[in-house]
Chains A and B, each alone.
Chain A
Amino acid sequence: MSLPYSFKLAVSSMLHEKWINMLSVLTIAAGLLFTAIIAVTIYNVDMLTKKLPDRFSVMVFLKENLPQEELNNIIAIVKKDNSVENVRYIPKDDALKELKATLKNTEYVLEGLGENPLPDSIEIKLKSDAVSPDTVKQLTTVMKDLKGIDEIEYGEKFLSSIYSLRLGVKTAGFVFAAIMISGMIFVCYSTIKLLFYRKVQEIETYKLLGATKGFIRAPFIIEGAAMGLAGGILSLVGILLLYYSVILKLSLTIPLLKALFFPINLSFILPLTGLFLGILGAHIAIGRIRY
């Protein structure tokens, strides 16, 4: 098989059928651009919410004047749980000190309180991969039945809504990306199929002259690859333009947008995805070659 000749055939076909090729490239570019926007959104939601488990903790407020024995018992039971990273006992005096430190110059609000109003407490940190509404619920139901515990506090609503958001955004994103990718494979598929059908007569002659399947396939695979790669590069240009012109300008007025990250990996993921989709589409379009 002579590869240079296959490239020559592919190039001549691309020039000859430039409109249909250009249309496919634009369609692929648009599809990849949308997918990339979705990916950037997911990426940002992920980045913003990833750090949350580290800050998450469960506060357990204890009954007043708990005997040391019961306290040890509670700590032992909590520590046994697999999802628990560490447990810290905070006597009420320490809690007051911490509170004073946070209030700093506005310490006067505490004046006149007389006796320390805060209860003793335990702070439970969970392993970051174990932080989810389910594990927290499991842990707290165990603890609720223990004697000596007054109240358990954790951002229940907050935790579960963050989790639904993460899950929702990811699922929607993947479903959307899957649909877009199938669509783009179909675009490559139908374009190459069309070009293949236009050359059926020619291909019959190739076969009779002794061409291998590789010789017949190569120009179409190259054409599909070029189409996909061009679409991928174009979508990268599109998303960079979008990021730098729109987002950066808008962030002057909406500062929140400044926090958006641009996943630098996209600069090779997009062209490679395009390339892969093009090759796959072309491959399916050619199908089995029989003599």
Chain B
Amino acid sequence: MIDFKDVSKHYDNHTALRKITISVSKGEMVFITGPSGSGKTTLLKLIYLSEKLDEGHITVSERELENLKDSEIPLLRRNIGVVFQDFKLLNNRNVFENIALALRIRGEDDRELKSRVFDALKIVNLRHKADSYPQALSGGEQQRVAIARAIVTEPPIILADEPTGNVDPDTAAGIIKTFKDINARGSTILIASHNRELFRNTGRRVFKLENGNLAGEELG
């Protein structure tokens, strides 16, 4: 589903990722961990082409990203639900519209849209906040809106960047449970986090990044 082969990424004169080779199969749920600045976010960005790789090859759902045409990028991104580390919620829209946006961009009509948005809100326990604006939400609530927006389209791939960074341990456990449920329905999921509690005893593969290098792989 997602294949990295000798992938490197340089920012100006700084190397963020060095010769990374990993492979995630369809239906897998894996974790990426490592200290701050080790390259977790960069690795995810390469998958949805927010950043372009400098060396190596990446294949996502049989698409070779090096050769992807500009016009194919939206199609790639529609297959991927991303929980951005900085959420990227739009402040001029309420929670409902923020989540609905992902469906509208895919041309979903109004009839189905409403129930799907409310289903997603229910999963993250925020039905009662549908009419609130992002500024009026706590950090953890905003994070859960971002998760709802990523899962509402039921994409084949979900990338979650520190999806529990702003919540208490109980809520974090709830979020991981949510991802497990979605994974059980077939989505391939990558979760980046420095929080080792998240994957302890999950039995899932964990990739460890250190300073842009793949320092190892273990089972959680």
Interface pair B90/A210, CB less than 8 Å apart: no
Q: Which of A127-135, A140-148, A200-208 contacts B (4 or more CB under 8 A)?
A: A200-208
Q: Which residues of A contact B (CB under 8 A)?
A: 1-2, 4-5, 202, 205-213, 215, 290-291
Residue from B70, B84, B105 in contact with A210 in the complex, judged by beta carbons closer than 8 Å:
B105
Nearest-neighbour CB distance to chain B for A10, whole angstroms, equals 14
Given contacts A291-B49, A291-B73, are A211 and B90 in contact (CB under 8 A)?
no
Can you list the 3 inter-chain pairs with the closest CB atoms, starting with the nearest? A210-B77, A210-B78, A291-B73
Q: Flag if B77 contacts A206 (CB, 8 Å).
A: no
Partner of A212, one of B48, B49, B74, B80: B74
B90 touches A202 (CB 8 A): yes
Instruction: For A210, list chain B residues within 8 Å (CB).
Output: 74-78, 80, 102, 105-106
Instruction: Find the A residue at minimum CB distance from B98.
Output: A205
Please determine whether A208 and B50 come into contact, CB atoms closer than 8 angstroms.
yes
Do A208 and B82 contact each other (CB < 8 Å), given the known contacts A5-B104, A202-B90, A291-B49? yes
Does B107 reach chain A (CB closer than 8 Å)? yes
Cβ-defined contact, B108 with A2, below 8 A: yes
Those of B35-74 within 8 Å (CB) of chain A: 48-50, 70-71, 73-74
| Residue numbers in A under 8 Å from B108 (CB-CB) | 2
Q: B24 near A: Cβ within 8 Å?
A: no
Q: In the complex, which residues of chain B have a beta carbon less than 8 angstroms from the beta carbon of A4?
A: 110
Is B109 part of the contact surface with A, judged by Cβ < 8 Å?
A: yes
B88 CB-CB contact with A under 8 Å: yes
9 A-B residue pairings within 8 Å (CB atoms): A1-B107, A205-B88, A208-B82, A209-B77, A209-B149, A210-B77, A210-B105, A212-B74, A291-B74
- Per a CB cutoff under 8 Å, which of A5, A208, A211, A291 touches B70? A291
Give chain A residues whose Cβ lies under 8 Å from the Cβ of B48: 208
Q: Which of A202, A211, A290 contacts B105 (CB 8 A)?
A: A211
A5 to B105, CA, bound (A): 9
B173 within 8 A of A: no
Residue numbers in A under 8 Å from B104 (CB-CB): 2, 5
The CA-CA distance from A67 to B54 in the complex, in Å, is: 99
Q: Are B78 and A2 in contact (CB under 8 A)?
A: no
Which residue numbers of B lie inside 8 Å of A, CB to CB?
48-50, 70-71, 73-78, 80, 82, 84, 88, 90, 92, 101-102, 104-110, 149
Interface centre among A206, A208, A213, A290 (most CB of B within 10 A): A208
**Chain A residues closer than 8 Å to B102, beta-carbon distance:** 209-210
Q: Once the chains bind, are B105 and A215 in contact (CB under 8 Å)?
A: yes
A36-B50 Cα distance, complex, nearest whole Å: 49
Interchain Cβ contacts within 8 Å, total number: 45
B109 & A2 in contact (Cβ 8 Å cutoff): yes
Q: Are B49 and A205 in contact (CB under 8 A)?
A: no
Most buried by A among B71, B76, B107: B107
Write the nearest CB–CB distance from A94 to chain B, whole angstroms.
80
Q: Is the CB of B107 within 8 A of A290?
A: no
CA distance A2 to B50 in the complex (A): 24
Q: In the bound complex, how far is the Cα of B106 from the Cα of A89, in angstroms? A: 82
A210 CB to closest chain B CB, in angstroms? Answer: 4
Q: How far, in angstroms, from A67 to B102 measured CA to CA in the complex?
A: 97
15 further interface pairs, Cβ-Cβ under 8 Å (given A202-B92, A208-B84, A290-B70):
A2-B109, A5-B104, A205-B88, A205-B90, A206-B101, A208-B77, A208-B88, A209-B102, A209-B105, A209-B149, A210-B74, A210-B78, A210-B106, A213-B71, A291-B74
A212 contacts which chain B residues (CB < 8 A)? Answer: 74
B107→A2 contact, CB < 8 A? yes
Residue of B nearest to A291 (CB): B73
Query: A211 — nearest CB in chain B belongs to which residue?
Result: B105
Nearest Cβ in chain B — how far from A180, in angstroms? Answer: 36
CB distance from A217 to the nearest CB of B (A): 13
**Could you tell me the distance between the alpha carbons of A62 and B108 in the complex, rounded to whole angstroms?**
88
Which chain A residue has the least Cβ–Cβ distance from B110?
A: A4
Give the nearest-CB partner of A214 in chain B. B74
Q: With both chains docked as a complex, state the minimum distance between the C-beta of A13 and any C-beta of chain B, in angstroms.
A: 10
User: Given the complex of chains A and B, what is the CA–CA distance between A290 and B52 in angstroms?
Assistant: 13
List residues of chain B with CB within 8 A of the CB of A207: 74, 77
How far does the Cβ of B152 sit from chain A's closest Cβ, in whole Å? 11
**Residue in contact with A211 in the complex, picked from B74, B80, B110, CB distance below 8 Å:** B74
Q: In the complex, how many angstroms separate the beta carbon of A39 from the nearest chain B beta carbon? A: 42
In the complex, chain B residues whose CB is within 8 Å of the CB of A215: 105
B75 to chain A, nearest CB (A): 7
Residues of B within 8 A of A290 (CB): 70
Q: Provide the bound-state CA to CA distance between A210 and B80, in Å.
A: 9
* Distance between A215 CB and nearest chain B CB, rounded to angstroms: 6
> In the complex the two chains form, what is the Cα distance from A290 to B49 in whole Å?
12
Select from chain B the residue with minimum beta-carbon distance to A6. B104
